[in-house]
Amino acid sequence: MTSDQSPAAPAPEQEVSSRQVLRAAAWLGLAKISSYGLGFAGTIILARILVPEDFGVIALAMAIMGILAGLLDLPVTQALIALQSPTDDEFDTAWTISIIRSILVALLLIAIAQPMAMIFNMPEVSGVIIALTLNVMLFGLRNPYFENFARSLNFTWDVITEIISKTVQVIVSVSVALIWKSYWAFVIGLIAGTLAAMILTYLTYRKLPRLSLRSPKRLFDYSIWLGLSMIVSRLTAESVNLIAGRRFGQGTLGQVHIGNKLSSDISYLILVPIMRSLFSAFSRLSDDIYRFRHAYLKAQSATVALAMPVGFGLALVADPLIPLLLGPGWELAIVIVQFYAPCTGLLLATGPIRSVAMALSRTNLMLKRDVVVLVLQVSLLLLGTWLYDFIGFLAAYAVSTFIATVINLYFLKGLIQISIVDQVKNFSRSILATAIMIGVVLAVRPMAESSGTFFGDVLTVGVLSLTGALAYAAAHTLLWIVSGRPEGIERSVMNVAGKIKPKLARFGIR
């Protein structure tokens, strides 16, 4: 064991190049593509075995657990990434705080399980909530020294841990579902995956933490505002499920849960690897606002260029895609995806905002933003539901997402001194290219109507997806050329293509 104040396996504090960030994002991209791919496949299989009511039970239990866990959350592990040279005492303190938090959350979950089941008229939820306390405990036991990999932008073990734990979760969930045909399949699979991830954090970083509360100051100084912000953010996210469950019942909540999951998984698979690698990189650029601003604009441009066509494209093909994936009984999920997927793509235009605030130690500003968005979303959802029932609920979600995006642009203006107009200009080509893509797909769609068979649906989805992708790429490239070929994702793609072309030529490919 090292001395109390010596840096614990410190990550090197050297300059971070764009190549390092891209390499880190690529590794995390591989992990998320694999993880979300496995999770997506698992969800599809479970949706074909289980019924919407089963997913409603899980969605409500996870929402309650998420809110309660958020109320006691102190993101001390993220503080370990952001702090300069954290000591062994700080790693030990972070681990101890995580354990204490997990115990408190577990006890509170047990206490409220039965009352929540009565309030939402779902008796099954009580047992699921109590079982999920084990998942909370396992997550709190993760090795804090594992974060040293992220500090040095080395995400190899993140990739391995992510893929193995998700594989365990999917295999266990599907196996139990095939045997029991019950929502317990998801619960058991989730616990198995979390257990695997926890064990791997110790196997991959061979340094054991110890129980200690000797160095909480820097952790609390960093985490307190961020923790409060994450509480409010979690309330905002879960308010959708709580309102849907209370107003529309178990079956509709299950449809909302699946529709939201399908919409967000595909888009967030783009964002999450970028955000984690950017947070590590942004933390090292926080003293140079000009380089920081430049890095943010590049990240924003790339994120929107990928997320927006995916979100709107998913909505365009939802009608044939959802029955193809989920089978009969999930018709309402089609409408949900048509609303949710574009909203997710739009919101990702300001996806890096939390990484920016964390890197600049302006998490108090994020708290203000999160409170505004929470009040806005809950108010609009309640009003929309009261006025127009379920369609009002969906419309209110779309409106609140648009307003939240504008609010994010405003707060980013204060964080990195970039006007809202300049931010929108930064991804304007992606907006225009997406609009062109939508027009082209809608024009082609009548000629690609499905025959109603499995292969007909596959062909329709394939034709529309390929048409949309080609239209978007062509429009984006043309707009870039007309704009004078400015720096952006197009130039990065051209540079990569230029490097690959000579290698392909060796094999006779031109």
Q: pLDDT (tens digit, 9 = 90+) per residue, 41-81?
A: 898 999 999 999 999 999 999 999 888 877 666 677 777 77
Q: Across residues 394-411, what is the average pLDDT? A: 95
- The most confident of the ranges 84-88, 299-303, 473-477 is 473-477
For 313-356, the pLDDT digits (tens) are 999 999 999 999 998 889 999 999 999 999 988 888 887 787 78
> Is residue 233's pLDDT more than 70?
yes
Q: How much is the pLDDT for 3?
A: 38
Q: Coil, strand or helix: which one is 123? A: coil
For 141-191, the pLDDT digits (tens) are 999 888 888 777 677 788 888 899 999 999 999 999 999 999 999 999 999
Contacts (Cβ under 8 Å, ≥6 apart) of 429? 305, 476, 479, 480, 483, 488, 490
Helix axes 454-482, 289-316, angle to 10 degrees: 140
224-236 exposure pattern, b = at least 16 Cβ within 10 A, e = fewer: bbbbbbbbbbbbb
Residue 120 or residue 349, greater confidence: 120
Q: Coil, strand or helix: which one is 7? A: strand
Q: How much is the pLDDT for 15?
A: 46
Q: Are 441 and 316 in contact (CB under 8 A)?
A: yes
For 451-465, the pLDDT digits (tens) are 677 888 899 999 999
Mean pLDDT of the chain: 84
